[in-house]
Structure 1
Amino acid sequence: MATRKILTVGLELASTDTTHATFRSKASLLDWDIFLFRPEISEFLHNYYETYQGKPSFNDAGSFAAKECCEHWRREIKQAIETGKTVVVFLPSLYEAYVDTGGRSYSGTGRNQKVTRHVAPLTNYDTLPVSLSPVKTTGSSMKLAPKGVEVLAAYWAEFGDRSNYNVVLSASEVPACVLTRAGDKPVGAIYRSKSSAGTLLLLPDLDFSPPSFTKRKGNSTVWSSDATKFAGAFLSALVGLDKALRSSSEVTPEPTWAAATLYTLAPEAALHVQLLEAERQVEHAQRKKEEISEAIAIAAMPRALLYEKGKPLEAAIIHALSTLGFKAEPFKQSDSEFDVVFDSAEGRLIGEAEGKDTKAVNIDKLRQLSMNIHEDLQREEVSEPAKPVLFGNAYRLQEPPERSDPFTEKCHTAAASSSTALVATTDLFPPVQYLLAHADPEYAAACRSALLSAIGRVAFPIPPIAAAERNDEMDREER
């Protein structure tokens, strides 16, 4: 049906004539003719840990992701319109939150020091390259603006009764195309590019996922005939609307020959120089952003102790052991391969790591670890057996406080008979978290000693700050 390439974000249609992308997608709109967008940032809701002025305040990760996504779509929409694309936005309810700016202020000293995060407001309407000042409200009684919106007549005749508004656009000079029936408040707008046939069309919302649009088929949920019928009629109306918007545009696309140097104007040339400098600054900022993102990924590596398995878990363990003051590295030589060999002035150890999705770590890895100890001892440069350590990240997809014993009973029994230390990687995380924030050689040495002396599950010493907080709490309870 549709010869136009159509991308949807924030809404899905029961049609093979469209391609759907997630809000987190980094898709370029230059690859598409029509973009259908319904901006939502509520999916970041699980990334907040407090509220500010009664609204969600996203944590560091949620703040970065939400701001990055909003900026991506704002930039892509602006560029798409400038290059002659049609962007249709269905206006959802206003969603307001606060994001971390990265700024911090400090008051007090020592244990009484208080750190204040600096936050800034963010809404789902920050995805749009126009100022709308949306005010949250709801209604369904609407009409087309009296002038300049003839192109909307066919669409509105078919879908006006199914539309509803979630916001009123209170910014000044909004080029309104749909108004509330009472009060003539703008609830839709048309922004036309001054240099191309591109258009940003803001329309009242539609319900794209009513219960009648899906049905059960075996163990799956599939589109219903109602959904397919709606998608066909809707896309036909949108393609017709796109055609009408293009034909009504008063801008003629610039011929290639008109861009030749012969026709260049002096003010234009000066602005091109400014544009090149601005693009250079953007490129520099992008490189800086990528460098910081890579640094964040490295700095966040210890968190993999809580949820990873395989090579990523092994890398996190090596990083953690290095933080405790061990010299730690994987070992591979001829037929021998050990997950980690680590040593310090206090002694030498060999470790194996195992991550389990929904089970406790069993004795299989202990057998492998025992073989590794014997293989290691056969090497000429090794004079005595290394201390065996089994690192386990059991039930790794659950939050740590909800997990059961990470090692099976047989694993505990076998560890006791072989003098093996059992390390739950979730137990290793708090010491590492503390040491990355505080230079404390004595505490690091105590952690190394706990590892070397343990038979069975290792009990790391409580980080001094956590111990002090616990003592304060006990004192308060006694009083």
Structure 2
Amino acid sequence: MKSIVCINHEIPTVHDQIDYLSSESLRDYDIAIFDPAFPNLSRIEFSGGGSCLAIEATEALTKALAHWSAELRGALQSGKTAFILLNEFEQDSAATGSSMKSRNQRTYNTKYIENYSAIPVRIDAKNAKGRKVNVKDGRFRNLYDIIAQITEYRVILTATNDMEVIFSAKDGAAVGSIIRPEGLPGSLVLLPYFSFDTETFTEDEDGRLVWTDQAIQTSHALIGQILAIDKTIRGAAGLTPPPNWIVNARSPALGAAIDVAIADIDAQIEDLNNERSEREQAKSDLAGYTHLLYETGKPLERAITKTLQLLGYEVDTLRIGDLEIDHVIVGPSGKRMIGEAEGKDTSAIDIGKFRQLASNIQEDFAREKVDAPAKGLLFGNGYRLMPPENRGEQFTRKSLTNALLHGTALIRTADLYPVAVHLLDHPEDDDFRTACRAAIEDTAGAIVSFPNPA
């Protein structure tokens, strides 16, 4: 079955939904249903009345408009069908910058933003509301009959030569159409606006709104028509989507055999998709080791943990009250160590991180079950935005002096990366694994020098 996604809109039986401000792609979906309404964003209120979108909101909305225009164009370029729900036309004032005229008076530079600019073809839409909708194209009769009670037109369209009118208002104005943009094999289907967010289709259940059975049934029927219309548009033009009652017509016995064959193929496809997902996850896990070369914060800490585990260490996080230690490390020798990690964009690792490391070691040693202070490890990823071969010394002179004073082992995370790669490629190399652990545990007051892989 073809995959359907809703953007900025909810249909009960469409489980894939994308928020308007999301940067998610439409590549994974066969059919898109798009509502161009602007989301609620922060605004600047003017003392003299009126308002405009805040600068940050303008940036987010401008980015979203460009994103959806590109994504919808990409879908059309791939020959897909995009259904546009013709919500109200919106033109909003948006702040692009500001300046201070006087001490207490700020002025804003603004521009106008239109919601229909998210659609990759020019649509001349004027706001006008009504519920009397005429079906001009018989292929859409069944669809309209399904959603008539929740449908209204909110704009009228100026008909153009490339527009095939499928719905009209009582006076003949176009309120729905098909557009096949020149040079793009896909189709835009412009539908009068509909919404399942009504009293008939929602009910209260333990303090939250849920869809009614009628909403679910209507949604299933609607999606059936969406799929049929998509098939018709992509295939032979002029065919009417089969009505719901056609399923009761007698079918040849050969059809059942074909259904079994299709089900078998679908099962194989699902198995292959699952296998592919597992392989992609494995590849993503491997890519996580590259964080040793350029990351900081939690991503760097996770990569360090995974590499230490490759070396045969047990690595735990200790959280007791206010005490939080990210790396408590114990090896086969029983040696107990505590690690801290830091990355710097354009400089070496300075002495500041030693305070946290020393505090963690002291608080850990104060615990009743700990008999001796743990050895300190400081993992550094200095100059992390530069290629490793072009980096300067990873630790400052003060860091080296302090490491010597406290017996701390300093580890360049970029040096850990080839260690990880070798052990991933040669998991049986226990001699190398043992030599790396010895380098870490025997180094005190200096930078750890790992053995070269055989």
Please give the TM-score of this superposition, normalised by the length of structure 2: 0.51
CA contact (8 A) 1:328 1:340 kept: yes
Q: Spell out, residue by residue over 1:102-134, the C-alpha distance to the aligned partner (whole angstroms, 9 max, x if none).
A: xxxxxxxxxxxxxxxxxxxxxxxxx679xxxxx
Question: What's the counterpart of residue 324 of structure 2?
Answer: 337
CA contact (8 A) 1:420 1:456 kept: yes
Q: How does 1:42-121 map to 2 (within 5 A)?
A: 88-89=76-77
Q: Spell out, residue by residue over 1:125-178, the C-alpha distance to the aligned partner (whole angstroms, 9 max, x if none).
A: xx679xxxxxxxxxxxxxxxxxxxxxxxxxxxxxxxxxxxxxxxxxxxxxxxxx
CA contact (8 A) 2:6 2:34 kept: yes
Aligned pair in 2 of structure 1 residues 403, 376: CA closer, same or farther (>3 Å)?
same
SS in 2 for 1:293: helix
CA distance in 1, matches of 2:286, 2:265: 31
Structure 1 residue 448 displacement after superposition: 1.6
Structure number having the greater helix percentage: 1
Question: What's the counterpart of residue 395 of structure 2?
Answer: 407
- 2:251 is aligned with 1:264: yes
CA distance in 1, matches of 2:163, 2:445: 71
Structure 1 residue 239 displacement after superposition: 6.0
Q: How does 1:164-175 map to 2 (within 5 A)?
A: none
CA distance in 2, matches of 1:404, 1:224: 49
Q: How does 1:355-434 map to 2 (within 5 A)?
A: 355-434=343-422
Question: What's the counterpart of residue 283 of structure 2?
Answer: 296
CA distance in 1, matches of 2:445, 2:257: 73
Question: What's the counterpart of residue 432 of structure 2?
Answer: 443
Residue among 308, 312, 318 paired with 1:321: 308
CA contact (8 A) 1:308 1:355 kept: yes
CA distance in 2, matches of 1:381, 1:349: 15
SS in 1 for 2:367: coil
CA distance in 2, matches of 1:243, 1:317: 55
Question: What's the counterpart of residue 243 of structure 1?
Answer: 178
SS in 1 for 2:163: helix
Structure 1 residue 218 displacement after superposition: 7.2
Q: Spell out, residue by residue over 1:174-208, the C-alpha distance to the aligned partner (whole angstroms, 9 max, x if none).
A: xxxxxxxxxxxxxxxxxxxxxxxx79xxxxxxxxx
CA distance in 2, matches of 1:419, 1:373: 12
SS in 2 for 1:263: coil
CA contact (8 A) 1:339 1:353 kept: no
Gaps of 5+ in 1: 8-18, 35-75, 78-85, 90-126, 130-197, 200-216, 466-479
Aligned pair in 2 of structure 1 residues 239, 274: CA closer, same or farther (>3 Å)?
farther
Residue among 272, 289, 298 paired with 1:285: 272
Aligned pair in 2 of structure 1 residues 33, 268: CA closer, same or farther (>3 Å)?
farther
Structure 1 residue 374 displacement after superposition: 1.3
CA distance in 1, matches of 2:263, 2:357: 60
- 2:274 is aligned with 1:351: no
Q: Spell out, residue by residue over 1:378-428, the C-alpha distance to the aligned partner (whole angstroms, 9 max, x if none).
A: 223322222111112233333322333332332222222222111111111
SS in 2 for 1:31: strand
CA contact (8 A) 1:419 1:456 kept: yes
Partner amino acid, structure 1, of 2:410 = L
CA contact (8 A) 1:327 1:343 kept: yes
CA contact (8 A) 2:342 2:381 kept: yes
Percent of pairs identical after alignment? Answer: 33
- 2:452 is aligned with 1:463: yes
Structure 1 residue 341 displacement after superposition: 1.4
Aligned pair in 2 of structure 1 residues 232, 447: CA closer, same or farther (>3 Å)?
closer
CA contact (8 A) 2:404 2:446 kept: no
Structure 1 residue 312 displacement after superposition: 2.6
Structure 1 residue 342 displacement after superposition: 1.4
CA contact (8 A) 2:419 2:453 kept: no
Question: What's the counterpart of residue 454 of structure 1?
Answer: 443
Partner amino acid, structure 2, of 1:441 = D
CA contact (8 A) 1:331 1:341 kept: yes
Aligned pair in 2 of structure 1 residues 259, 399: CA closer, same or farther (>3 Å)?
farther
CA contact (8 A) 1:359 1:394 kept: yes
Question: What's the counterpart of residue 305 of structure 1?
Answer: 292
CA distance in 2, matches of 1:448, 1:354: 21
CA contact (8 A) 2:415 2:450 kept: no
CA contact (8 A) 1:416 1:456 kept: yes
Gaps of 5+ in 2: 8-19, 36-70, 83-95, 99-109, 125-159, 165-176, 181-188, 190-232
SS in 1 for 2:337: strand
CA distance in 1, matches of 2:373, 2:6: 65
Q: Number of paired residues?
A: 280
CA distance in 2, matches of 1:373, 1:20: 44
Structure 1 residue 346 displacement after superposition: 6.5
CA contact (8 A) 2:26 2:75 kept: no
